[in-house]
Amino acid sequence: MTLQRTLGLLAASLLASLPLAASAAPLALDVQGMIGRTNDADHTVYHLSEADLLKLPVHTITTSTTWTPKSTFAGPLLGDVLKLVDARADNVELRTIDDYSYTVSAREAEHYGAILAYSRDGVRLTVSNFGPLFLVYPRDAYPSELSGSVAEAKFVWLIKALVVK
Ligand SMILES: Nc1nc2c(c(=O)[nH]1)N[C@H]1C(S)=C(S)[C@@H](COP(=O)(O)O)O[C@H]1N2
Ligand SMILES: [Mo]
């Protein structure tokens, strides 16, 4: 192999690895706890693949957040994911890749139409950019209710799993 070809291959493989590194966590979600529907061998978890998540009706929320300027987030309603798994309790613990965990009320999320956003302004969220899933509430529509440190804790990013309890 010529040196030129070797360098070319090396450059190609480096380039190919870049988008992978930027979105290393796949778009996927595990739901467990008090749910009536499961799809794993042990009947404990409902695993949603990227295809499952993209199949759900897409809802958008255009809002600024403490961390992002006004932009349009898109993804399924948290409520639709909970319906899919037949969730049987109101508390939903969100678990993240960075081991943050926060429990939100399904009823409250439904009230605000909170979404599990997988894109912002048409661009898929990556782990370095709030992805793979970011629970977004319409803050600009409810500025007094959805601002401040208590509300901010609900805007959970890097979500990998939900536990219904
Ligand atoms: N994945 C993830 N989401 C998160 C957090 C976190 O540590 N990890 N912190 C939460 C909390 S408690 C608050 S107040 C806000 C603000 O976090 P920040 O102070 O790191 O900006 O993000 C929320 N979402
Ligand atoms: Mo917080």
Query: No. of H helices and E strands in the chain?
Result: 5, 11
**Would you state the pLDDT for residue 89?**
98
pLDDT tens digits along 27-40: 999 999 999 999 99
71 lines ligand 1 (CB under 6 A): no
**Would you state the pLDDT for residue 25?**
79
40 lines ligand 1 (CB under 6 A): no
Show the domain range for 45. 3-17+25-164
pLDDT tens digits along 48-98: 999 999 999 999 999 999 999 999 999 999 999 999 999 999 999 999 999
Rounded mean pLDDT of 134-156? 97
Closest residue CA from atom 8 of ligand 1: 100
Number of domains in the chain: 1
- Residue 12: band (very low, low, confident or very high) from pLDDT cuts 50, 70, 90: low
Give the separation between CA 127 and CA 154, rounded to whole angstroms: 18
CATH number, domain containing residue 37:
3.90.420.10
What is the DSSP code string of 69-93? -SEEEEE-BHHHHHHHTTB-SSEEE
